[in-house]
Structure 1
Amino acid sequence: MKPHQIEGFNFLLSNLVSDNPGGCIMAHAPGSGKTFMIISFLQSFMAKYPAARPLVVLPRGILPIWKKEFLRWQVENIPLYDFYSVKADSRSQHLEVLKEWVKERSILFLGYKQFSSIVCDTDDGNIAVACQNYLLKIPTILILDEGHTPRNQDTDVLTSLERVETPRKVVLSGTLYQNHVREVFNILNLVRPKFLKMETSKAIRRRILSRAEISSRRNLMKDGFYELIEHTLIKDENHTRKVTVIQDLREMTRKVLHYYKGDNLDELPGLVDFSVFLRLSPRQKAEVKELKTLNRKFTISAQGSAIYLHPNLKALAKNSGVKERVDEEKIDVMLEKLNVKEGAKLNFYLNLLQLCESGGEKLLVFSQYLLPLKFLERITAKVKGYSVGKEMFMITGDSDAETRESSMEKFNVSSEARVFFGSIKACGEGISLVGASRIIILDVHLNPSVTRQAIGRAFRPGQVRKVYTYRLIASGSPEEEDHTTCFKKESIAKMWFEWDEFNGLQNFDMETVNVNECGDIFLETSRLNEDVVALFKR
């Protein structure tokens, strides 16, 4: 175990193995070995409490990774149960698996959706009620991987997890802060019910409210405490007040929240994280004018993502709809008469891909939409002659566990592999793509932690090269505002968890960089930077 894992192990011990046990949050950076640490702890916990029945709730897609890690690190053979490997689909089949788990010293794994659907089931039949009772009353310890998942109040996922009776609830998250301060406190309430009403919390809450800017206090709404923290950290120009709020938050949560920013990643060759603002072509600029007249945020984002790549994609983006049906034949027809130069992001991608090929590096491309990824896959096949499964790979939300695993392994190992296209959500958890050292983030995801998770697929233990990330922003488009919003969200997390008096707060600003002196030999080429109008380094 590394020092931060030993410290984390002892933190778990102090919260969970005591006369008055309570839950806690392990907010350790992606790639810092949370799974190994909790597997080690669970084995020790089960040795001390042989009758214990742990329940691990997690995104279903990463279950195979957990099982693989358990087999790798287990000291003794502990049976691992789940519904999926035995194809238990009905409530009666679920009940049989639950009975086996209760009868035998073992661990149960469930996906978040599966868990909440059972606990929130309105069927009052004997079998459904028995399943609910097992899940709510039997677990001795509840582990929540990617534990920021149940962060939204009044959702089935959060309310069902709150009903689990054990006080031993552990949240594991590499990206605890997602969108708002309120969400972090929802998770604190999950592991420590009525967290803000505990005596120590109440005193600190009063202190934060009393220190806040008077004009901010006047505007407090029902959830004003959380809004006030966000306002102070983002907008308050009083440096001293900012610092005292940060210190108060840390004091309030220090016995419940263990944070590790990932100093082990300092041992890697490094990460350079650029925001690249690209000049749009005249056709793209004309489309952006029309885009700005739309009302729905999702429509602007989805259509914009396609248009900023290439304006010819507008018609397909309009027709792809919510279910994102992509007509590959129409893409192929479009490619016959395509002017690459009319698409700023497409031009950047093709030039970077060529530089990667010449330099012997591999490229990751992430988007939150399927159409841009499919378009890039088809044009890459046409322009470069690449084929899927050899030089190109793709993972989307529809990819099964076997496809994910084989694509990941081939891409990392094969010398022929060149580019990996990934749905940013589907590739955000439990995936290692350390074969790549260049990353394109095609569009702005409004939850910045999703983007951090994606970058963490390549920038993690096992990486042997410096990693360069290019967050592509369409200059003069609605993406600019989204990018600013996301950066503010990220700065709250950094101030809350990473600020110290030696570095001050200025380190959380973006640095403006001269593209010709940015330290990236690829980006300094005229071929790649011809459309760059501004460059920032995070």
Structure 2
Amino acid sequence: MDDRLMKLRTMIDPFVHVHKGTILQESLPGLRDSLVFLRPTELQKALLEIASKAKSFFQEVCWVSLISIHPSLVAEEEMFSAYKSEIQKTESTTDAGVKTKFVTKLIWLADALGERVLVFSEFLDPLVFIKQKLQSQFSWNEGREVLYMDGKLDENQRQYSIRSFNDESSEAKVLLASQKACSEGINLIGASRVVLLDTAWNPSVERQAISRAYRLGQKKVVHVYRLITSGTVEVQKYASQTQKDRISQLIFSPTDGPTYHSETSKIVSEDKVFEALVDDKSLNPIFEKIIHQPKASDLIDTFDFTDLKR
């Protein structure tokens, strides 16, 4: 180990206590973390190319997140007016957006096994869009099969959604939630599958989101799916997040392990629902790369950390 790193560890050791959270490993069935790189459709590629020319980086990040979920989410943006007619043709189909296609199929298969899905996004429009698609495609109702939660909900509505989602006797199948509104202090152990639709710059934001389901009281293995659209700024965002995690590991943990809950979760090697998704001939082409239980060494090989310019 580098002498400077050892010196830093020695300096902070009297002041910093690192909670390993081993009680989770001892008490919970386990956690399986999957990093899923998805290929955008041809229309998405065209729109993503336009988004890369946005005047501000913040605007690019927002547009990339929306387009990656479904093209119709940018239908009213003047920047994409050249493709307006093509975008409008896709509004009624989930297949036009790789992330929407993945999520709806995952929810359908999970429900067949009696499992519930928790879907997080940093943006509200994708959550509302997916909610509407689930209602129309599966004839589900909001407040019964489909639950929705953002920062605008009052306390009574929020508590109702939480109780309903965690109640095994309820008809709830999926909870669509804003990361900012639901990332801390909420118990959502009704979910055994967690989908992160977009990538946050701060790794702790995603940890908090996952920890809504992976916490004491959980009776099932929790499967996490981090969705990244290949060839976009989302790859850069996750690379930056990985680099931050790696630095944290170097300072606080001496071993190379999974980037999330490396010392707090049992390793799970099987996911029949995900295997069914990959084997589905209509879905298989959207998968570019899949990394299960990613280790820091795997991600160093995947990302070029010398090219993190923004």
Question: How big is the shift at 1:340?
Answer: 2.2
Query: What is residue 442 of structure 1 aligned with on the other side?
Result: 197
SS of the residue 2:190 aligns to:
coil
Is the 2:5–2:251 contact (alpha carbons within 8 Å) kept by the matching residues of 1? yes
Is the 1:303–1:317 contact (alpha carbons within 8 Å) kept by the matching residues of 2? no
**Which residue of 101, 108, 117 maps to 1:354?**
108
Does 1:382 pair with 2:136? yes
Question: How big is the shift at 1:508?
Answer: 5.4
Change (3 A) 1:344 1:336: closer
Does 1:405 pair with 2:159? yes
Is the 1:411–1:420 contact (alpha carbons within 8 Å) kept by the matching residues of 2? yes
**Which residue of 282, 288, 292 maps to 2:48?**
288
1:275-320 Cα offsets, whole Å, 9 max, x none, are 100011110011111111123122112111111011121124679x
Change (3 A) 1:337 1:250: closer
Is the 1:396–1:422 contact (alpha carbons within 8 Å) kept by the matching residues of 2? yes
Query: What is residue 258 of structure 1 aligned with on the other side?
Result: 17
Change (3 A) 1:316 1:431: farther
In 1, Cα distance between the equivalents of 2:91 and 2:11?
Answer: 61
Question: How big is the shift at 1:400?
Answer: 2.4
**Structural mapping, 1:174-253, within 5 Å:** 240-241=1-2, 244-253=3-12
SS of the residue 1:398 aligns to:
coil
Query: What is residue 39 of structure 2 aligned with on the other side?
Result: 279
Identical residues among aligned pairs (%): 36
Change (3 A) 1:258 1:438: same
Query: What is residue 467 of structure 1 aligned with on the other side?
Result: 222
In 1, Cα distance between the equivalents of 2:285 and 2:44?
Answer: 16
Q: Which amino acid aligns with 1:395?
A: M
**Which residue of 37, 55, 61 maps to 1:301?**
61
Query: What is residue 270 of structure 1 aligned with on the other side?
Result: 30
Q: Which amino acid aligns with 2:92?
A: L
Is the 1:445–1:451 contact (alpha carbons within 8 Å) kept by the matching residues of 2? yes
Change (3 A) 1:435 1:509: closer
Q: Which amino acid aligns with 1:531?
A: I
Question: How big is the shift at 1:481?
Answer: 1.0
1:171-220 Cα offsets, whole Å, 9 max, x none, are xxxxxxxxxxxxxxxxxxxxxxxxxxxxxxxxxxxxxxxxxxxxxxxxxx
Considering only CA atoms, is the larger Rg found in Structure 1 or Structure 2? Answer: 1
In 1, Cα distance between the equivalents of 2:108 and 2:217?
Answer: 25
Change (3 A) 1:318 1:387: farther
Is the 1:303–1:318 contact (alpha carbons within 8 Å) kept by the matching residues of 2? no
Report the number of matched residues.
271
SS of the residue 1:425 aligns to:
helix
1:401-459 Cα offsets, whole Å, 9 max, x none, are 22222211111004311000111111111101001001110001111110110000000
Query: What is residue 342 of structure 1 aligned with on the other side?
Result: 96
Is the 2:72–2:90 contact (alpha carbons within 8 Å) kept by the matching residues of 1? no
Query: What is residue 184 of structure 2 aligned with on the other side?
Result: 429
Query: What is residue 394 of structure 1 aligned with on the other side?
Result: 148
Q: Which runs of 5+ in 2 are unaligned?
A: 80-87, 261-268, 295-310
In 2, Cα distance between the equivalents of 1:479 and 1:318?
Answer: 23
Query: What is residue 306 of structure 2 aligned with on the other side?
Result: none
SS of the residue 2:118 aligns to:
strand
In 2, Cα distance between the equivalents of 1:288 and 1:496?
Answer: 37
In 2, Cα distance between the equivalents of 1:374 and 1:364?
Answer: 14
Query: What is residue 534 of structure 1 aligned with on the other side?
Result: 289
SS of the residue 1:473 aligns to:
strand
Is the 2:39–2:230 contact (alpha carbons within 8 Å) kept by the matching residues of 1? yes
Q: Which amino acid aligns with 1:522?
A: V
In 1, Cα distance between the equivalents of 2:46 and 2:21?
Answer: 44
**Which residue of 74, 81, 93 maps to 1:314?**
74
1:507-529 Cα offsets, whole Å, 9 max, x none, are 3579xxxxxxx732111122354
Measured on the aligned residues, the alpha-carbon RMSD in Å equals: 2.1
Is the 2:245–2:259 contact (alpha carbons within 8 Å) kept by the matching residues of 1? no
Query: What is residue 298 of structure 2 aligned with on the other side?
Result: none
Change (3 A) 1:257 1:454: same
Greater Cα offset, 399-408 or 459-468:
399-408
Give the TM-score normalised by the residue count of structure 2: 0.82
